[in-house]
A = this chain, B = another copy of it.
Amino acid sequence: MKNINYGLLGSTGKLGKEVQNVFAENKFQLVYELSLEGETQKDIPQILIDCSLPENFENTISLAKKFNCPLIIATTGLTSTQMEALKTLAEIVPVVQSYNYSLGIQILLKLTKEVQKYVDDWDIEISETHHRFKKDKPSGTAIMIRNEVEKEEVNISSLRLGNVFGEHTISFGGLGEVLSISHSASSRRTFAEGIFRSALFLLKKKNGFYSFTDVINENSH
Contacts and interface: CB of A to CB of B under 8 A. Distances in A.
Contacts of A179: 104, 107-108, 181-183
Given A163-B175, A164-B173, A103 B119 contact: yes
A117 B183 CA distance: 17
B175 A189 contact: yes
A127 to B, nearest CB: 7
A184 B177 contact: yes
A43 to B, nearest CB: 30
Interface in A105-148: 106-108, 110-111, 114-115, 117-120, 122-123, 125, 127, 129, 132
Interface string A166-197: 00000111111111111111111110010000
B182 A177 contact: no
Interface residues of A, number: 55
A41 interface: no
A209 interface: no
Contact of A125 (B102, B117, B161, B184): B161
Nearest to A177: B104
A157 B115 CA distance: 24
Given A111-B114, A177-B185, 11 more contacts: A103-B119, A103-B174, A110-B114, A118-B220, A120-B221, A123-B132, A127-B159, A160-B173, A162-B175, A164-B173, A179-B181
